Amino acid sequence: MRDIAIQIAYIVSAGIFIMGIKMLGSATTARRGNRLSAIGMLLAVIITLFDQGIVSAGIQGYAWIAGGIALGALIGGILAKRVQMTGMPEMVALLNGFGGLASLLVAWAEYATLPALGLIPVSGEMRFTLVVSALTVIVGGITFTGSLVAYLKLSGKMSGRPFLFAGQKAINFVVMLVLAAATVALALALKDYSATAFYTLIGGAFLLGVLGVIPIGGGDMPVVISLLNSLSGVAASFAGFIIGNTVLIVAGCLVGASGLILTVIMCKAMNRTIGNVLFGGFGAAASGSGGAAEQGEMKAVSTEDAYYILEAARSVVVIPGYGMAVAQAQHVVKELGELLENNGAEIRYAIHPVAGRMPGHMNVLLAEADVPYEQLVEMDNINPIMPTVDVAIVIGANDVVNPAAATDPSSPIYGMPIINAHEAKTVFALKRGKGTGFSGLENKLFFMPNTRMIYGDAKATVADLVSQMKG
């Protein structure tokens, strides 16, 4: 009866977790979904403590559990309060990494509890545990160190450009062969080699995680983060098989599948394959071959002149990018949108799938500013009406509005679907200066005859427009 009750409780916990993830699909229910998922996971943790007999370890056992919960809650609370929206992508990368590390530690702990391999007959169940442990270590280790590299690139502590060197792919292949050999050695439970094989798996996985992410440019980081998130889920699911935990298997499969689906969607939005993102070294080529040379010059305009055009506009589309996040301009952008609406204009926010530094980055920023969810329009829905738009305001976006993707076969981003900002009657591009974007590519949009540049901090620029709109 006790086992039945525990399994029912696990199913209830998994159901709550699934409902929470479902609610994350809408900005109006996302916060409740996050809380619901947290409750489901808390329930699963409590059930596991009783199911595995961990709470029977006495006062000392409770002290370790309570200490771990308190320490984790303290660190998580401090980070949640202090992290800026600009730092959210690297925070997500770190969380993905620690998820992978946690799964690796579960596999390591389970391996440590096994009887001395080679001294006793190995059962089918034990062999299964060894194989799944090896897979958990590989996926978890790659996720951990790969996420750390992604964090360093996104936070600026490491160059965002691809790091390529001679023989890189060959070295990666050799490391993968070593991991495969170590997995076989562990599965065979060879007396003299099992421990060596296991620790080789850990070291090799850590190394492959680093080697796998350093050749990826900063412009591809949203896809990388999504893929690493998927891998953290896969590692958690493997860990669930190791310890026989149903809810961990379900939760891991959900995260793994959803992360992979999102990765594929983002790759399609860039007109690239996952293989090209992982092995193409995008950004290195960009620095050496950025497409045809630009003709003409960027034409600057003052906020006063921009105000007169906006005042007469009846259709305005805002296209946000990472520059909006850096300037933390989302709140004044929303205020400007409200003023334009009161002036009789229709306001929309065009969202490209890979804008920013993580999946859904712009959606999160605008939701934080309470921008109505109905005003957020996806790329495929906004492009057909762009020729009718009076003004397109590009705030810190670069590659996702670069017409070279459609017109310049020599450009590294040729073929990538973009938001057709250049088709609007007037384009205002808000930039700090004349430099290129994160990928290092020059944006042809900035040189087009219908584009006017407004230089300066995006938040200050929009705030100036807001004050003029207020009169």
Angle, CA of 330, 418 and 386, to the nearest 5°? 75
Check 399, 408, 457, 464 and give the catalytic one: 399
Q: Structure tokens of 196?
A: 């060596």
Residues 6 or more apart whose CB falls under 8 angstroms from that of 9 comprise 43, 47
Nearest to 251 by CA among 470, 465, 47, 5: 47
Among the listed residues 392, 388, 387, 363, the one whose alpha carbon sits nearest the alpha carbon of residue 376: 363
From the list 152, 154, 148, 320, the residue with the least C-alpha distance to 221 is: 154
Phi first, then psi, for residue 165 (nearest 5°) are -145, 160
Edge-to-edge strand list for the sheet holding 346-351: 376-378, 346-351, 315-320, 391-395, 426-431, 451-455
What's the length of the chain? 471
Residue type, 88: M
Rounded to an integer, what distance in angstroms lies between the CA atom of residue 462 and that of residue 457? 9
- Taking every pair of Cα atoms in the chain, the longest distance, rounded to a whole number of angstroms, is 85
Per the listing, tokens 């207020």 go with 470
Burial 94-123 (b: 16+ CB within 10 A, else e): bbbbebbbebbebbbebbeeeeebeeeebe
Angle (CA) 448-452-457 rounded to 5° is 130
Helix (H) or strand (E) segment spanning residue 351: strand 346-351
Query: Is 390 an active-site residue?
Result: no
Quick count: other Cβ atoms within 10 Å of Cβ 251? Answer: 24
Please name the amino acid found at residue 256: G
Helix (H, G, I), strand (E, B) or coil at 348: strand
Run of H or E including 391: strand 391-395
Residues near 332 by Cβ (< 8 Å), separated by ≥ 6?
459, 462, 463, 466
Query: CA angle, 255 as apex, 97 and 4 as ends, to 5°?
Result: 115
Q: Which residues are catalytic?
A: 399
